[in-house]
């Protein structure tokens, strides 16, 4: 049997019929199914006292064969019987041979709807039922397009020589991704990390790039593609030192540096990586933001917090744009993390923050890396435009 009847082939005047002789077994099954044990239909003694003198077959038993014609012949598979008006003109008796006919009266192309003349005639050529019905012919699902190639296992990690960036590189390599560690000036440390990854059997390279410049960002992506192929994962962890400064002493250049490294580089790299991700129908972009953008602002962290807040908004904006193409964009917002980035924060202040955190410690780079690994994994394929807070409960949404 074909899956769906061809609506275009159906024409006004098309007709199909079914022959059926009514038996006691038919009546018994109908009563068992519907519970309609009206003695007029099942008790000959009772029926003999009525004007009909004989058992009368349930009217809907005969009418049910209209459904048989509709579902198997006209229009056939994929038909949905949506309405029916009918008149029962004569009784149907046991042993009657019925001809059930459906004929197309009108055809509504837009709604894939047919109006049908429905009638039942007995062996004496008497019309025992007539009416009109409406039938919608369901359309088969559109054949799915071949799936896109999918997520490329190539990850660029900016700031890869830093504490969080290094942890992310190690975790993604552990998960089987080919890692491109981007660094700005820590060449020796970057190469040391890559050597360790390679010794553990991972595929990894270190690439020096100033990702806050168009040339640097383009060079990084080009080298990644040349060495490993299409980029499927972008993790933006690059960040300048916080360098707290009062408004009175701040220079615009201080704020501009934060904006360039945090936000401009995210823009440039996302713009470069997104086309390939969209072409493959899959991609993961993760930006490392900060708890500093939530709750009570930290005095003198204006440039850092402003850039991180802009990065978070940028991530949500492109998440909405790239989502239809299978690309997810999310943020991980660590609390104070035990890395070199907080080296200028007094130890006493770090201890106070740890004590005020429900989990009673600072974040570790591995905590952040685990969150990133989740967001780039298949388990997070339906997560986008979100910020995953890794702060031990210091800030709760």
Tens-place pLDDT, residues 326-336: 999 999 998 77
Of 334, 328, 318, 306, the C-alpha closest to 395 is 334
Q: What Å distances lie between residue 213 and 117, 202, 364, CA to CA?
A: 74, 29, 30
Residue 218 neighbours by CB distance under 10 Å: 16
CA distance 7 to 97: 31
Exposure string of 168-192, with b = 16+ CB inside 10 Å and e = fewer, is: bbbbbbeeebbbbbbbbebeebbee
CA distance 14 to 7: 12
Measured in degrees and rounded to the nearest 5, phi and psi for residue 11 equal -135, 155
**Strand-pair category, 154-158 with 233-236:** parallel
* SS3 (DSSP) at 307: helix
pLDDT given for residue 1 in this prediction: 42
Could you tell me if residue 125 is left (phi over 0), alpha (psi between -120 and 50 degrees) or otherwise beta? left
CA atoms within 13 A on the CB side of 367: 17
Q: What Å distances lie between residue 59 and 40, 48, 92, 186, 372, CA to CA?
A: 12, 18, 7, 88, 67
**Cβ 137 vs Cβ 78: under 8 Å:** yes
pLDDT given for residue 57 in this prediction: 95
Q: Which of 134, 304, 307, 387 is catalytic?
A: 304
CA distance 246 to 301: 8
pLDDT given for residue 358 in this prediction: 72
Ranges of residues in the chain whose predicted pLDDT is under 50: 1
Count the helix, strand and coil residues of the chain and give each as a percent rounded to the nearest 5: 40, 25, 35
**Cβ 331 vs Cβ 307: under 8 Å:** no
CA distance 56 to 93: 5
Domain ranges of the chain: 9-137, 154-390
* H/E segment holding residue 147: none
Same fold, 9-137 and 154-390: no
CA distance 63 to 60: 5
Q: How far is CA 238 from the centre of its chain?
A: 30
**Strand-pair category, 97-108 with 79-88:** unpaired
Angle at the Cα of 371 from the Cα atoms of 370 and 377, rounded to 5 degrees: 85
Average pLDDT, the chain: 90
DSSP string, 256-292: HHHIIIIIIHHHHHHHHHHHHHHHHT-EEEEEE--GG
Q: What Å distances lie between residue 367 and 11, 333, 361, 376, CA to CA?
A: 67, 11, 12, 15
Could you tell me if residue 295 is left (phi over 0), alpha (psi between -120 and 50 degrees) or otherwise beta? left
**Cβ 162 vs Cβ 339: under 8 Å:** yes
The residues pairing with 182 across neighbouring beta strands, listed in sequence order, are 158, 207
CATH class name, domain 154-390 = alpha beta
**Cβ 215 vs Cβ 241: under 8 Å:** no
CA distance 22 to 61: 9
**Strand-pair category, 283-288 with 178-183:** unpaired
Q: Work out the percent of the chain whose per-residue pLDDT is above 70.
A: 91
pLDDT given for residue 19 in this prediction: 96
| Homologous superfamily (CATH) for 9-137 | Hotdog Thioesterase (3.10.129.10)
Of 368, 290, 299, the C-alpha closest to 333 is 290
pLDDT given for residue 393 in this prediction: 60
pLDDT given for residue 246 in this prediction: 84
Q: Is position 304 annotated as part of the catalytic site?
A: yes
Beta strands in the chain (DSSP E): 15-21, 79-88, 97-108, 113-121, 127-137, 154-158, 178-183, 204-208, 233-236, 283-288, 327-334, 387-390
């Amino acid at each position: 049997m074909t899956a769906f009847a061809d609506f275009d082939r159906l024409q006004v005047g098309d007709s199909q019929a079914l022959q059926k002789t009514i038996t006691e077994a038919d009546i018994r099954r109908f009563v068992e199914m519907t519970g309609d044990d009206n003695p007029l239909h099942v008790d000959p003694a009772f029926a003999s006292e009525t004007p009909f003198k004989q058992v009368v077959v349930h009217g809907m038993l005969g009418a049910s064969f209209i459904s048989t014609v509709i579902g198997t012949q006209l229009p056939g598979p994929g038909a949905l019987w949506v309405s029916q008006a009918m008149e029962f003109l004569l009784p149907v008796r046991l042993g009657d041979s019925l001809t059930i006919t459906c004929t197309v009266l009108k055809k509504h192309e837009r709604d894939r709807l047919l109006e049908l003349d429905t009638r039942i005639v007995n062996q004496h050529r008497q019309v025992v039922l007539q009416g009109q019905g409406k039938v919608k012919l369901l359309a088969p699902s559109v054949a799915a397009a071949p799936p896109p190639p999918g997520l490329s296992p190539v990850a660029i990690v900016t700031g890869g020589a830093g504490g969080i960036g290094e942890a992310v590189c190690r975790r993604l390599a552990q998960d089987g991704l080919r890692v491109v560690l981007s660094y700005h000036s820590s060449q020796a440390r970057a190469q040391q990390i890559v050597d360790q990854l390679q010794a553990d059997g991972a595929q990894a390279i270190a690439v020096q790039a100033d990702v806050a410049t168009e040339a640097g960002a383009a060079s990084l992506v080009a080298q990644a593609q040349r060495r490993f192929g299409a980029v499927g994962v972008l993790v933006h962890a690059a960040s300048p030192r916080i360098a707290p400064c009062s408004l009175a002493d701040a220079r615009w250049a201080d704020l501009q540096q934060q904006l360039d490294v945090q936000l401009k580089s995210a823009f440039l790299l996302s713009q470069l990586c997104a086309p390939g991700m969209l072409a493959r129908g899959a991609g993961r972009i993760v930006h490392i933001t900060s708890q500093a953008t939530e709750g009570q602002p930290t005095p003198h962290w204006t440039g850092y917090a402003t850039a991180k807040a802009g990065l978070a908004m940028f991530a949500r904006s492109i998440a909405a744009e790239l989502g239809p193409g299978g690309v997810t964009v999310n943020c991980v917002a660590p609390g104070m993390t035990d890395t070199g980035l907080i080296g200028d924060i007094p130890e006493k202040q770090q201890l106070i923050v740890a004590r005020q955190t429900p989990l009673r410690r600072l974040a570790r780079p591995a905590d952040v890396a685990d969150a990133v690994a989740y967001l780039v994994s298949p388990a997070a394929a339906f997560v986008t435009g979100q910020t995953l807070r890794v702060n031990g409960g210091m800030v709760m949404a």
